[in-house]
Amino acid sequence: MSDRPGSERLWLVVPAAGRGRRMGAELPKQYLALAGRPVLAHTLSRLHQAFPEARLCLCLDPDDAHFDASWVPFDQWRRSPGGTERVDSVRQALTALAGEARDDDLVLVHDVARPCVTVADLQRLWAALREDSAGSLLATPAADTMKRDDGHGHVSQTESRSGLWHAQTPQGFRYGLLCRALNEAVASGLEVTDEASAVEALGLKPRLVPGRRDNIKITHPEDLALAEHILAAQQGTSSPNHAYEETP
């Protein structure tokens, strides 16, 4: 994470320009209170604990009237305008870094809506990323039986869950590779719901780094209470049987 010529630097891109439509709240979900602080403040705080020297690029809606810069714990940070879809926000951030970021710099993209990611998982992902030229992502193996619907609310078939994973964030790549992958994926009309899918489309195989199932993406109203329980458990303030120890 140093700045010596030829040494890699770490950039954090945090897409935070969503509207939270599925949450259906008055505020975008990144500004809803979670254990007394906005979701966004929790997420940035976890990232800062893991990577205090990293440089942050925060994607915010240009019309955002709720953001408060005092929630950003990083010394070096900037904001970039969010786009229509998540991928557009991430691409705008990468464009904002052009000229400063080098092709071999490391970039971690992390949803603002995942405030429960642990420092240990962040650091394991970073370590994996440094060793894998195709990048890496936190993920968990599918644990439920998977059904495909028939389009009318009934089961058409049961899918094998063998080898299926839930993709989480962060997802990390070298800056040059990520820019190329996203540019080409969008140009070819691919639906890009995460960074890894764009890199996969280049024929590369990002590494799956097994993460914790409690790195949830706050998406629906019930997820907020769940996230609050998870944070309490991680900090050991709920039942000691479920307390989480933050050690790598």
Ligand X SMILES: Nc1ccn([C@@H]2O[C@H](COP(=O)(O)OP(=O)(O)OP(=O)(O)O)[C@@H](O)[C@H]2O)c(=O)n1
Which parts of this chain interact with ligand LQXTBERG (CB under 6 A)?
86, 111, 167-169, 193-194, 217
Q: Which of 82, 115, 170, 211 binds ligand X (CB under 6 A)?
A: 82
Q: Which of 9, 48, 86, 91 binds ligand X (CB under 6 A)?
A: 86
Work out whether 194 is an interface residue with ligand X (CB under 6 A): no
Q: Say whether residue 59 binds ligand X (CB under 6 A).
A: yes
Which of ligand LQXTBERG, ligand X, none lies near 194, with the C-beta cut-off 5 to 8 A by kind? ligand LQXTBERG
CB 175 within 8 A of CB 144: no
Residue 105: count of CB within 10 angstroms of its CB: 18
Q: Which stretch binds ligand X (CB under 6 A): 15-23, 95-103, 123-131, 233-241?
A: 15-23
Closer residue to ligand LQXTBERG in complex, CB, 19/242 = 19
Q: Is 219 in the site for ligand X (CB under 6 A)?
A: yes
Tokens encoding 44: 């940035």
Half-sphere exposure of residue 83: CA atoms within 13 angstroms, side-chain side = 13
Residues ≥6 apart with Cβ < 8 Å to 171: 108, 109, 135, 136, 137, 138, 194, 195, 196, 206
Strand partners, 52: none
Taking the mean position of all CA atoms in its chain, how far away is CA 111?
3
161 contact choice in ligand LQXTBERG, ligand X, none (CB below 5 to 8 Å, kind-dependent) = none
Q: What does 169 bind: ligand LQXTBERG, ligand X, none (CB cut-off 5 to 8 Å by kind)? A: ligand LQXTBERG
129 dihedral zone (left: phi>0; alpha: psi -120 to 50; beta)? alpha
Question: Measuring CA to CA, which residue among 92, 87, 172, 166 is closest to residue 136?
Answer: 172
Q: Under the criterion CB under 6 A, does residue 111 sit at the interface with ligand X?
A: yes
Site for ligand X in 118-177 (CB under 6 A): none
Residues engaged in binding ligand X (CB under 6 A): 15-22, 29-30, 59, 82-86, 89, 111-113, 217, 219
